Amino acid sequence: MPYFAYYDPLYWGFFIVSLIIIVTAQVNVRSRFKKYSLVYNAKGITGRQAAEMVLRSAGIYNVTIEPTAGNLTDHYDPRSAVIRLSESVYDKATIAAVGIAAHEAGHAIQHAKGYAPLKVRNAIIPLTQVGPSIGVFLLVLGAAFNFPALITTGIALFSVALVFQLVTLPVEFNASRRAIEIIRNSGILTPDEQFGAASVLSAAAMTYLAAMLQTLLTLMYYILRFSNRRR
């Protein structure tokens, strides 16, 4: 947190709102995941098997699936073409496991088909790793020395995080749509079970929306806080 924010009522107003958004989204996804992690699917299909079935249905055979430690740490690594599924997903035959695994397989399908938003997201990842933090540093420096150019540059660099999250939204929603569509067409889950899987994925997608809103609120704070100094 920049030094000037500690005593700024405006900052704490934005912070409290963004905290409520993030916590609500996190509680919601964990609640739904826990609920459907206790419900086993009728066919006894594990997360690993579901991911394999989704990949095969799309004609993809060069992606491996392996377990990874942690909870809700599931992800697709495009560099090594590996889907890593968490302990509560990999070998569990629950509705939640199937939904999460199919979602990650959806990312592998996006990668294989050259899905444009995924390409854009991957391309700007290096910039997001340094841009926002450098941006905040320049904001602090510009505020300390009353240097409008540094403030403007800092805001521009920080906004890279918002661009990344805006691009991430269609990537995540599309992966879930692909997953549910294949689950439905292949009969991996029954119609009732499909509702549970979709519920989990919908809650997970909301965490990305919440993160985007949090970044947007932070950016709005910086713009409002320094609007006078940039003139």
Residue 87 has a pLDDT of 93
Nearest-angstrom CA–CA distance, 171 and 178: 11
DSSP 39: S
Nearest-angstrom CA–CA distance, 91 and 37: 12
- 55-59: long-range contacts at Cβ-Cβ below 8 A with a sequence spacing of 24 or more? 55/105, 55/108, 55/109, 57/182, 57/185, 57/186, 58/105, 58/109, 58/112, 58/182
Residue 65: left (phi > 0), alpha (psi -120 to 50), or beta? beta
Domain boundaries, the chain: 3-226
Residue 9 has a pLDDT of 75
Q: Quick one: pLDDT band at residue 12, thresholds 50, 70, 90?
A: confident
- Cβ 120 vs Cβ 173: under 8 Å: no
Please, what is the Cα angle at 184 between 180 and 185, to 5 degrees? 120
Q: What percent of the chain has pLDDT over 90?
A: 79
Cite the active site residues: 104
Residue 191 has a pLDDT of 93
- pLDDT value at 43 more than 80: yes
For residue range 53-100, list pLDDT tens digits in order: 999 999 999 999 999 999 889 999 999 999 999 999 999 999 999 999
Q: Which is more confident, 16 or 14?
A: 16
- Cβ 178 vs Cβ 7: under 8 Å: no
Closest to 199 measured CA to CA, from 96, 108, 84 = 96
Question: β-strands 64-67, 75-77: how paired?
Answer: unpaired
Q: Quick one: pLDDT band at residue 154, thresholds 50, 70, 90?
A: very high
Q: Quick one: pLDDT band at residue 143, thresholds 50, 70, 90?
A: confident
Residue 39 has a pLDDT of 97
Average pLDDT taken over every residue of the chain: 91
Residue 71 has a pLDDT of 87
Sheet order of strands, 75-77 included: 64-67, 82-85, 75-77
Helix (H) or strand (E) holding 40: none
- Cβ 204 vs Cβ 173: under 8 Å: no
- pLDDT value at 189 more than 90: yes
Please give the structure tokens belonging to residue 28. Answer: 């919601």
Residue 14 has a pLDDT of 81
Which residues are CB-neighbours of 221 under 8 A, at least 6 positions away? 10, 11, 14
Q: What percent of the chain has pLDDT over 70?
A: 95
